[in-house]
Amino acid sequence: MRTETPVTIRLKDYQPPAYWIKNCALIIRIFANYTEVDSTLTMVRNGDPSELPALVLDGVEQLIQSLSFDGEAITDYDYQHDRLTVQPTQAEFTFNAVTHIFPNTNTSLEGLYKSGTMVCTQCEAEGFRKITFYLDRPDVMATFSTRIEADQAPFPILLANGNPTASGELEQGRHFATWDDPFAKPAYLFATVAGDLVRRDDAFTTASGRDISLRIFAEPHNAHKTEFALTALKKSMRWDEERFGREYDLDIFMIVASDFFNMGAMENKGLNIFNSAAVLATPETASDDRFERIEGIVAHEYFHNWSGNRVTCRDWFQLSLKEGFTVYRDAEFTSDLHDRAVKRIKDVLFLKNHQFPQDGGPNAHPVQPQEYIEINNFYTVTVYEKGAEIVGMLHTLLGDRPFRQACDLYFERFDGMAVTTDDFVDCMAQISGQDFSQFKRWYTQAGTPIVEIHEDYDANLARYRLSFTQSCPATPGQSDKQPLVIPVKMALLDSTGQALPIDCDGDYNADTQVLTLTEAVTTVTFQHLASQPTPSLFRDFSAPVRVRQALSDPALLLLAQHDDNAFNRFEAVQQVYLDTLLKLTRGELDAIPALVDTVVLSILSDTRLSHALQAVLLSLPSYQQMMDNLDTVDAEAVIVARDRLKLHLAQTYQSHWATLSQTLTSADDYVFTADEVGRRELQGLALYYWVLSGDKFGLNSAEALYRAAQNQTDRLNGLKAVMASPDRDRQQRLLVHFYRHWHQDTQMVETWLALQAGAEGVGVTDILLLMAHDAFDFTNPNKVRSVLGGFTQNFKAFHDIQGDGYNFMSEQIVALNAINPQVAARFVGVFERWRKFAPERSAAMHSALTAVLETESLSPDVLELVQKTLV
């Protein structure tokens, strides 16, 4: 644990490094109790060669064996505060360091660490400094050669980045392998793996005819679960060639599955390392959403080979350069392969459930943050998902072809370089001829803009006016906000939902049907409209803004029933639900409004809708969205309101749910296609409502589905529906059955833990029991996320005022802080909205968080977030 005062790093202080590293030659000798790292850096002065400033290298917990310049031992050095300072005497030189590190006790899972029976790495953002001394910053790009030596028996497989060059036996049962990566890269993309791994092979021929070996490695107990990811990888490689003209470059591409991993996956050059949960799947053990997630993550990490690796970030303030762009790319991939409308709806829901609250809370920050203490804390939904929305807006503003041309220009111009988000946007500007200087505010201004819409129709003049007023609430450190460039995809609908021809004298592009707002207030006039149209605005969520628009019930109903833009139809339906939920919460309603029933019936009876779309249209807004739309949250009222509407839907449409659930049953073999995923999703939802309605036939049907299931999706649909019933005995029987059958499967055990932590009626005592179970492991992030993540996302359980959820989580954060600061810091977020709650809860959350702050030796990760959250 670092004990010195954390340092704030600021974008405005960026300086190029005083030295470059041209090549890094590593010899990694793995022994039972320690690892020896022998690193030779070929370096050159960046700047005036007659002036040689001190060389300051990053290095954490390095046990120095020897240091030398060009073979001459260095005796005069200073190593403190994670920095090694030495004085070069030449402008070009080699620097060698031999150090010892201790992977077995490295529970932070950064640098080189033990995961199950293997040893692997995680270097992004600043893990490489835990392996050896280095200029650990992304603008220092070097070629790497790696030699790994280890005992043959426990570590028959030895991997690193690049292409394999040699391997062979050594004395005393040891062996070695060497790898060479010819593409210069920052150290955060370094990877090595040693273990007893089983591999699955495949091959891919690139568009230009090069043959690439594809290999996925997993520990023996997971070896049967790698086929799906391999197929996803091949689809990703082809898609990136076709959509973005990007071909793979090395001779081999490898993925390794690790049971101990802080994040989802890591795009190390040619050697991706994945959290097991984000790569391993069989129909028997993974549900549809897991398959979808895995396909998306495999694609995401592969796409980084260009958007991130070949063109990388100059500094960590540019993180969205690679992440926002790559999230955008993987979303396009999934949309092309599956159901574009449903993918868009789910992505926007994620943004609204997670990023909007972040933007409205104490940790609001721009997509390009201006400062940080711990960069690990900035792997956020703002940098990733809002960053992806920015790229999506650029696409909308440019159109398909120019956007592709601008991406081509970006990849060609900056190949092999470390650049900035400005460089990216400048390519868009150059190709389109548009001025994007105002647009760039999306990167620097935090907060979710609000767009208020007013309409005015003059029947005599057949004239319709829309006025848009944009504003953005103050965020920490940013009180003064400037207008943004906001693209509004739109249509005007007649009373049957048909789009009307548009005759407009404003700044309006009739081809793309996109209005571009640039001022605080924009008014657009439409002519020759014989009757008042219904506006369908921000189609496909064309900008990440909060829309404030007072629509009449008939207008809302028209959009909810007839808008041919599926996303806007969804938005209208959600608005109907949300208005009802908010009114119920405030005690403003005696009965559920008829509008809700009209909308639900029209969805249930609309046979043109895909099953997947029906399922999302029949799902209620989350607690998060309700909270987001309330000034002060009375948790009981929120819970009662949502339960009431849910029960109303369950009971009113009981026969529909029963019929749907039965007719959607299929005994066919599992296939992962958009149609089949949609069918299973709607069936799961129908079954859930059917059980919730109190019909015991529903409950029996749910148990029957669980017991007969041939795949995980059906099994969980059955089990989750049973968990929605008050029949505790039945739930226990099925949970015991589940564990007995699947306790040897890591992913199934994680699912089993999460199901219980997220169950109705669970309390701190139950969570403690789960944590005392043999299946739990406090050093394993997936297990911790299953139990503590499941609990904190369980709104009723976590916010139960009779319970002790807040203090319990405060204690868990402190305990995790000592083991794995990154994972601990993630859980600080559960207190992010403490100010939103009514006084009693607000005070309880505040005191729980204060208790964390009063702990000694907090990591910078946790300290930074707790301090910000409490302000």
For Zn ion, the closer CB: 40 or 309: 309
3-state secondary structure of 582: helix
In three-state form (DSSP H/G/I as H, E/B as E, the rest C), the secondary structure along 176-210 is: EEEEEEEEEECHHHCCEEEECCEEEEEEEECCCCC
Quick check: 660 and 682 in contact, CB under 8 A? yes
Least Å distance, CB 250 to Zn ion, is: 19
Which residue is associated with the tokens 């005036």?
Answer: 48
Parallel/antiparallel/unpaired status of strands 371-372 and 92-101 = unpaired
| Tokens, residue 338 | 């599956």
Q: Kindly indicate which of the ranges 39-47, 321-329, 779-787, 860-868 contains the residues binding Zn ion, using the contact rule CB under 5 A.
A: 321-329
Q: Kindly indicate which of the ranges 174-182, 239-247, 316-324, 357-365 contains the residues binding Zn ion, using the contact rule CB under 5 A.
A: 316-324
Binding to Zn ion (CB under 5 A) within 331-360 occurs at none
For Zn ion, the closer CB: 255 or 573: 255
Least Å distance, CB 326 to Zn ion, is: 5
For Zn ion, the closer CB: 187 or 686: 187
For Zn ion, the closer CB: 323 or 750: 323
Angle at CA 13, nearest 5°, toward 385 and 111?
Answer: 60
Distances in Å between the alpha carbon of 91 and those of 66, 70, 94, 136, 317? 22, 12, 10, 20, 29
Q: Kindly indicate which of the ranges 286-294, 326-334, 463-471, 672-680 contains the residues binding Zn ion, using the contact rule CB under 5 A.
A: 326-334
3-state secondary structure of 99: strand
Least Å distance, CB 272 to Zn ion, is: 11
Measured from the Cβ of residue 591, the count of other Cβ atoms closer than 10 Å reads 7
The residue type found at 266 is M
Measured from the Cβ of residue 501, the count of other Cβ atoms closer than 10 Å reads 9
Quick check: 453 and 548 in contact, CB under 8 A? yes
Catalytic residue among 301, 323, 681, 864: 301
Which residue is associated with the tokens 């791994």?
Answer: 197
For Zn ion, the closer CB: 278 or 762: 278
Binding to Zn ion (CB under 5 A) within 225-244 occurs at none
Q: Kindly indicate which of the ranges 76-84, 325-333, 361-369, 585-593 contains the residues binding Zn ion, using the contact rule CB under 5 A.
A: 325-333
- Count of residues touching Zn ion (by CB under 5 A): 2
Parallel/antiparallel/unpaired status of strands 192-195 and 157-160 = antiparallel
Least Å distance, CB 386 to Zn ion, is: 14
Parallel/antiparallel/unpaired status of strands 252-258 and 211-218 = parallel
Least Å distance, CB 323 to Zn ion, is: 5
Long-range contacts of 197-202 (CB under 8 A, 24+ apart): 197/118, 197/156, 197/157, 197/256, 198/223, 199/157, 200/226, 200/227, 200/230, 202/230, 202/233, 202/234
Least Å distance, CB 301 to Zn ion, is: 7
**213 strand-pairing partners:** 203, 252
Residue 840 a catalytic site member: no
Q: Kindly indicate which of the ranges 144-152, 162-170, 318-326, 717-725 contains the residues binding Zn ion, using the contact rule CB under 5 A.
A: 318-326
For Zn ion, the closer CB: 323 or 745: 323
Q: Which of 386, 489, 393 is nearest to 445 (CA)?
A: 386
Q: Kindly indicate which of the ranges 176-184, 205-213, 319-327, 804-812 contains the residues binding Zn ion, using the contact rule CB under 5 A.
A: 319-327
For Zn ion, the closer CB: 421 or 522: 421
φ, ψ at 504 (rounded to 5°)? -140, 145
Least Å distance, CB 566 to Zn ion, is: 28
For Zn ion, the closer CB: 326 or 869: 326
Least Å distance, CB 309 to Zn ion, is: 11
For Zn ion, the closer CB: 323 or 861: 323
Quick check: 497 and 562 in contact, CB under 8 A? yes
Binding to Zn ion (CB under 5 A) within 792-831 occurs at none
In 116-191, at which residue ranges do the beta strands (DSSP E only) sit?
Answer: 118-122, 142-151, 157-160, 163-169, 174-185
82: region left, alpha or beta (phi > 0 left; psi from -120 to 50 alpha): left
Least Å distance, CB 189 to Zn ion, is: 12
> Under the rule (CB under 5 A), what is the footprint of Zn ion?
323, 326
Active site residues: 301
